[in-house]
Amino acid sequence: KCTKDEKYFSQGTLTRFGNIDMNPSSGILNYGQGLFEGLKANRTEDGRILLFRPEQNARRLQMGAERMCMPSPTIEQFIHALKQIVNANKSWVPPPGKGSLYIRPLLMGSGPVLGAMPAAEYTFLIFASPVGIYHKGTLNLIVEEKFYRAFPGGTGGIKTAANYATVFKPVTEAKAKGFSDVLFLDVTTRKNIEEASTSNIFILKKNVISTPAITGTILPGITRKSIIEIARVLDYQVKERDIPAEELFDAEEVFCTGTAMVVNPVSSITYMGKRIEYKTGVNTVAQNLRTMLTGIQTGQIEDKMGWTVEIA
């Protein structure tokens, strides 16, 4: 049965980080039946610890689980487990301005399976690690014209491990040429931009912010969603639409969004052999949006949206 009882998962336990037992014939090892999530806990100036929109990660995991024929934890179970993990690792949450505790939930087919079908048993686990502030400077992308990340009807819109398997080769080749990442095109028209390997993309043109619409081949990023909402509150016009790569030639700003980088300005994109440069740094829309979002995430700006969840 594809969708299992949503109360499938029982109360878990906290254990020290270390290797886990894995059945060699498990669904995850043999058929990649697995999903992951990523989010951060940040410490505020007054010593509180905040999670950012964890229910969004829970929902995205549930959506992915449905597509992957896996049971998923309830939103309450997911958030309860997150709180337990962060509470048990409070001393590992870096001081304000020094980074975050990165939290990685995993959902996988852990039961044995020989034929290509869903496993009969599932494991949900969460590990966490402190991370520094992601400072890579600006991004220097190349439009990928040979490899594709996702296709309509596939799994590009969910956070399954297999999606990342397809990007290693193009990203490794791009890095060898001095680029920071690739920008994928859609496989149907081979003209519209979709996203980078681990982040969503936005362009600014004539005061309008645009980002590719979520059609099933793009990961619905939680940072993307939050940036759209913040930009609208700040009175920017935001459009979710098809963006032909040709529009990269006359965009004023380009930026990428994701949990790790938050908002990262793009200084150049190479497309059809031409290098296009964009405005970055002070007084950019990207910087304005980044300041607002990181301010909410770290408790420096009042959270009028009700996005943060405090760890008691």
Which residues are tagged catalytic? 159
Q: Which residue is nearest to ligand PMP (CB)?
A: 221
199 sits near ligand PMP (criterion: CB under 6 A): yes
∠ at Cα 45 (39, 46), nearest 5°?
105
Least Å from the CB of residue 32 to ligand PMP: 15
Point out which residues pair with 204 in neighbouring strands: 209, 253
Considering only 139, 141, 142, 222, the residue that binds ligand PMP (CB under 6 A) is 222
Q: How far apart are CA 167 and CA 115, in angstroms?
A: 27
Out of 123, 211, 259, 280, the only residue in the binding site for ligand PMP (CB under 6 A) is 259
The reply on whether position 195 binds ligand PMP by CB under 6 A is yes
C-beta of 198: minimal distance to ligand PMP in Å?
4
Which DSSP state fits 207? T
Measured between its terminal Cα atoms, the distance across the chain in Å is: 38
One of 81, 85, 219, 231 touching ligand PMP (CB under 6 A): 219
Among the listed ranges 64-72, 104-112, 115-123, 220-228, the one in contact with ligand PMP (CB under 6 A) is: 220-228
* Cβ 100 vs Cβ 40: under 8 Å: yes
Q: Are 299 and 44 in contact (CB under 8 A)?
A: yes
- Is residue 51 at the binding interface for ligand PMP, with CB under 6 A as the rule? no
Measured from the CB of residue 225, what is the shortest distance to ligand PMP in angstroms? Answer: 8
Q: What is the DSSP string of 104-151?
A: EEEEEE-SB--SSS--S-EEEEEEEEEE------SEEEEEESS--S--
Residue of 100, 110, 160, 223 interacting with ligand PMP (CB under 6 A): 223
Tokens 């296009």 found at: 276
Helix intervals (H) in 179-311: 222-233, 285-297
Q: How far is the CB of 10 from ligand PMP (least distance, A)?
A: 28
Please identify, among the stretches 40-48, 133-141, 216-224, 304-312, the one whose residues bind ligand PMP according to the rule CB under 6 A.
216-224
Q: How many Å apart are CA 189 and CA 183, to the nearest integer? A: 15
Closer Cβ to ligand PMP, 54 or 73, answer by number:
54
Nearer Cβ to ligand PMP (108/219): 219
Kindly tell me the burial class for residue 177, based on how many C-beta atoms sit within 10 Å of its own C-beta (0-12, 13-18, 19 or more). exposed
> Taking CB under 6 A as the rule, does residue 198 contact ligand PMP?
yes
Contact flag: residue 264 with ligand PMP (CB under 6 A): no
Give the residues lining the site for ligand PMP (CB under 6 A): 38, 195, 198-200, 219, 221-224, 257-259
